[in-house]
């Protein structure tokens, strides 16, 4: 009985190893494809370009927000307080919940 159970465990382990090998091979193929990309929208270059574009858009948004805060300083201060209060409330609730566990 015990030998049959061990044999079943061994078969399950071998199946798991084979599945892991397939997943690793697929991951390696995907990484190779990503590294071999040579146009603007593929590979690491495409990723870097999209990241640079997102950074530029983020800088534009920050500049617009800074201009609005300069135009309406009281509203900007209230918004900052509200956002900070909301984040603190979420963190406090989370820490209380974690302390009960």
Question: pLDDT tens digit string along 30-68?
Answer: 777 776 654 555 667 777 888 888 989 989 988 888 888
Distance CA 19, CA 38 (A): 31
Take residue 7 and report the two structure tokens written for it.
């044999």
pTM of structure: 0.39
- Which DSSP state fits 42? S
Q: Domain total for the chain?
A: 1
Is 89 among the domain residues?
no
Mean pLDDT (the chain, rounded): 81
Choice between 2 and 13, residue whose per-residue pLDDT is larger: 13
Is 78 among the domain residues?
no
Is 37 among the domain residues?
yes
Domain that holds residue 60: 2-71
Choice between 28 and 5, residue whose per-residue pLDDT is larger: 28
Is 67 among the domain residues?
yes
Is 63 among the domain residues?
yes
């Amino acid at each position: 009985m015990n030998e049959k159970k061990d044999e079943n465990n061994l078969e399950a382990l071998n199946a798991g190893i084979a599945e892991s090998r397939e997943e690793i091979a697929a991951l390696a193929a995907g990484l190779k494809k990503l590294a071999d990309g040579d146009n603007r929208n593929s590979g690491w270059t495409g990723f870097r370009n999209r990241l640079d574009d997102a950074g530029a858009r983020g800088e534009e948004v920050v500049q617009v927000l800074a201009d609005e805060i300069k135009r309406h300083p009281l509203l900007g201060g209230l918004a900052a307080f509200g956002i900070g209060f909301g984040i603190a409330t979420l963190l406090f609730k989370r820490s209380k919940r974690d302390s009960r566990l």
